[in-house]
Amino acid sequence: MTSSRIPEEIHDRCSHCIGREHSICRAIEDCDLAILASESSKMTVPNGRSFIEEGSPAHDFFVVTGGRVKIFTLLPDGRRQITGFAEGGDFLGLAASKSYAFGAEALGTAVLCRFPHASMQRLTDRFPNLEHRLRQEASRELTLMQARMTLLGRKTARERLATFLMERIKLLGPMCQGTPHQIELDLPMSRTDIADYLGLTIETVSRVLSAFKREGLIGIRGITHITIMQPERVSAIAEGLE
Amino acid sequence: MTSSRIPEEIHDRCSHCIGREHSICRAIEDCDLAILASESSKMTVPNGRSFIEEGSPAHDFFVVTGGRVKIFTLLPDGRRQITGFAEGGDFLGLAASKSYAFGAEALGTAVLCRFPHASMQRLTDRFPNLEHRLRQEASRELTLMQARMTLLGRKTARERLATFLMERIKLLGPMCQGTPHQIELDLPMSRTDIADYLGLTIETVSRVLSAFKREGLIGIRGITHITIMQPERVSAIAEGLE
DNA sequence: CCCCAGACTTGATCCAGGTCAAGGTGAGGT
DNA sequence: ACCTCACCTTGACCTGGATCAAGTCTGGGG
């Protein structure tokens, strides 16, 4: 009994994981989940703790299996650009060759699944389909980044905030997007994080959100809770149409 | 004789190609080059001609085998963000799922090698190593993009131009980087392109370059020909250190 | 050789967003 | 309940880069 206990647990770790449905792990068949589990390890990161240091040697890939994470790069004088937020199912670590091109830190308590490069190598050797999934993941990320570059290079502060809100709405999943009016949003990140994500200052973020509220586009209750009152108009602003 | 003539030519197309050394094609053995050639086709694009329409269905991948290409996204009102310049050996088309997330247009006469998705699928099925190369290519691109997002979100105009110049120097290859002083650069793109790449206006690009010249950092002869007089200081500016 | 069109530079002015400086506000501790 | 600290909002002012408006250079055609 004891001898079969541990593998059973390991198998369970993967089969119940959010990554099973949404992440690269779905490239692997149920019957092979034990192998997947044996090549990876679970990791809990407390709020605010950095777990990838920009420029440090890249040893691991990660899948976010719980909570949220922010990805960023720094300039020597401390200016920060958040290049993305990652959450359940997101894959981390593609933007690296010998060393990581970015830093990462938990936004709230985050749970991660860590895959050492050597493990991933063994997995891709054994499951060729996984390599294809990694490419898909990279493509998705590239597509997002292209849109973000346009945001950072060419959009006004209003357009950036509107785009950001629409992005958060899309993350809620397709079921919430058709909602006739009023969409409830929870922003888990601070104003500082939003500012560093959008290439603005915290004051500008605050002012633009207040302006949106004054114009009846959104409602703000508490700091994190936002109601989108007029999704259509917010969307139009995001695209630069008003 | 005739029956062997065509394969021979096809084989030659790939073996002499710049992509053979630098691009994804090096994932394929010499003896299989005929297969590679038979799945792809050469394509010449005249100056300024667009060959990928943003949002159009994505049917092909491309390798740039000659000349240069610019990649961009547009906002509905015509604002443009150039997200990258591609040249010899660069791979194009990863930032796409069903449709392209970007447009592309020749910068000068460009020569491309086109791989329909179905062909690429057959190639990756047959040469698993190729899928790995594609992921590497995507990783490289992601790394570059992360740096560009920091540039667009957080750097000043001077820092952007300095970063741009350093980027062009790195493209010359490692041999030119150790040069004690004075590096010759040719900028093949217009000021408008530089502006759209750096998230600035053409006037600001012009002014900053003039300022660099006035300060003795660079020399400008003709429009395209630039001499970097003080690479160290330009590099320092690029990193935000002065 | 000169003309012309398109691309670049330069100058004057403006304004979106940054900076600096007070206030609010709310979650956690006592 | 009240304090407190960290975070957020708001206001006043400033400035880097955009915008608007002339010039100027360059290279290709007649």
Domain harbouring B181, CATH code: 1.10.10.10
C-alpha to C-alpha distance for A155 and A141, rounded to whole angstroms? 20
Tens of pLDDT, residue by residue over B122-174, are 999 999 999 999 999 999 999 999 999 999 999 999 999 999 999 999 998 77
C-alpha to C-alpha distance for A60 and A123, rounded to whole angstroms? 13
C-alpha to C-alpha distance for A227 and B4, rounded to whole angstroms? 69
Q: Which structure tokens are listed for B17?
A: 């190609």
Q: By percentage, how much of chain B surpasses pLDDT 90?
A: 80
Contacts of B27 (CB under 8 A, 6+ apart): B127, B129, B130, B132, B133
C-alpha to C-alpha distance for A150 and A170, rounded to whole angstroms? 18
Instruction: Tell me what pLDDT residue B178 has.
Output: 59
List the A203 CA – D12 C1' distance (angstroms). Answer: 14
Same domain for A212 and A187: yes
Same domain for B122 and B73: yes
DSSP letter for B96, please: B
Instruction: Tell me what pLDDT residue A208 has.
Output: 98
Cβ–Cβ < 8 Å for B61, B23: no
| Domains in chain A, number | 2
Please, which residues bridge with residue A111 across strands?
Answer: A44, A66
From B157, B52, B29, select the one nearest B104 (Cα to Cα).
Answer: B52
Question: Cβ of B96 and A139 within 8 Å?
Answer: yes
Same domain for A127 and A233: no
Instruction: Tell me what pLDDT residue A151 has.
Output: 98
Cβ–Cβ < 8 Å for A153, A81: no
Cβ–Cβ < 8 Å for A161, A198: yes
Same domain for B7 and B118: yes
Same domain for A67 and A176: no
DSSP letter for A89, please: T
List the B236 CA – C6 C1' distance (angstroms). Answer: 35
Residue B97 near chain A (CB below 8 Å): yes
Same domain for A220 and A123: no
Instruction: Give contacts of A85 with chain B, Cβ < 8 Å.
Output: none
Supply the CATH number for residue B113's domain: 2.60.120.10
- Domain ranges, residue B24: 2-151
Q: Locate the chain A residue with the closest alpha carbon to B99.
A: A143
In chain A, which among 128-147 make CB contacts under 8 A with chain B? 128, 131-132, 134-135, 138-143, 145-147
Q: Is the CB atom of residue A157 positioned under 7 angstroms from any atom of strand D?
A: no
Same domain for A145 and A90: yes
Instruction: Give contacts of B104 with chain A, Cβ < 8 Å.
Output: none
Tens of pLDDT, residue by residue over B70-127, are 999 999 999 999 999 999 999 999 999 899 999 999 999 999 999 999 999 999 999 9
Same domain for B65 and B53: yes
Beta carbons within 10 angstroms of residue A35's beta carbon: 19
From B230, B16, B33, select the one nearest B127 (Cα to Cα).
Answer: B33
Residue that is last in its domain, among B97, B120, B151: B151
Question: Cβ of A75 and B150 within 8 Å?
Answer: yes
Cβ–Cβ < 8 Å for B130, B123: yes
Same domain for B162 and B144: no
C-alpha to C-alpha distance for A195 and A197, rounded to whole angstroms? 5
Same domain for A196 and A110: no
CA-angle at A87, arms to A81 and A93, nearest 5°? 65
List the B204 CA – D16 C1' distance (angstroms). Answer: 10
Q: What tens-digit pLDDT sequence spans chain A (242 residues)?
A: 444 455 555 557 888 888 888 889 999 998 999 999 999 999 999 999 999 999 999 999 999 999 999 999 999 999 999 999 999 999 999 999 899 999 999 999 999 999 999 999 999 999 999 999 999 999 999 999 999 999 999 999 999 999 999 999 999 877 766 666 889 999 999 999 999 999 999 999 999 999 999 999 999 998 999 999 999 999 999 999 98
Residue that is last in its domain, among B122, B151, B180: B151
Same domain for B170 and B145: no
Cβ–Cβ < 8 Å for A55, A99: yes
Q: Which structure tokens are listed for B142?
A: 């992601």
Residue that is last in its domain, among A117, A151, A185: A151
Nucleotide at minimal C1' distance from the B199 CA? D17
DSSP letter for A188, please: -
C-alpha to C-alpha distance for B110 and B43, rounded to whole angstroms? 8
Same domain for A226 and A108: no
From A52, A97, A46, select the one nearest A73 (Cα to Cα).
Answer: A52
Cβ–Cβ < 8 Å for B61, B115: yes
**Which residue, among A92, A121, A154, A160, would best test binding to B if mutated, counting the most B CBs under 10 Å from its CB?**
A154
